[in-house]
Amino acid sequence: MDILEISGLLEKYMDAKWLRNEVISNNIANVDTPNFKRSDVVFEDVLKNHLKESAPRLALTTTSEKHIKASRSSVGVKPRIVVQNDRTLRNDGNNVDIDKEMVKLVENALSYNILAEQLQRQFSLLRSAITEGRR
């Protein structure tokens, strides 16, 4: 993968993390709403499947290192919101566990920050390559 592909995937991953933050916040906001069912964001499995499917079946042969290599497009990779109807924790029909949601919110925020740092490093590498290491 080249630097632009990696940056594109990091951007998609950050978008999914942002959406997951909104969904978890919605779950927390509705912790006392009767018959509310928690939602979650599915992205990691979608991304893995996309990467497996988009891998070139045949290796491309290049005769020069200047030739463009086959790249994977991440345009079709989108997170999905899934409502979990399978279990209910309380008598009012609500299945939100506030403790689990708070842990997921913190985990998601930390991983978002890690992805932001990685994307910043990718742009720093790209900037260094463009300026040939000069400032």
- pLDDT tens profile 81-105: 999 988 777 889 899 999 999 999 9
Each residue's pLDDT tens digit, 42-52: 998 888 887 77
pLDDT digits (tens, 9 = 90+) for 57-85: 545 567 777 766 655 555 568 899 999 98
Identify the residue whose tokens are 């390559």: 129
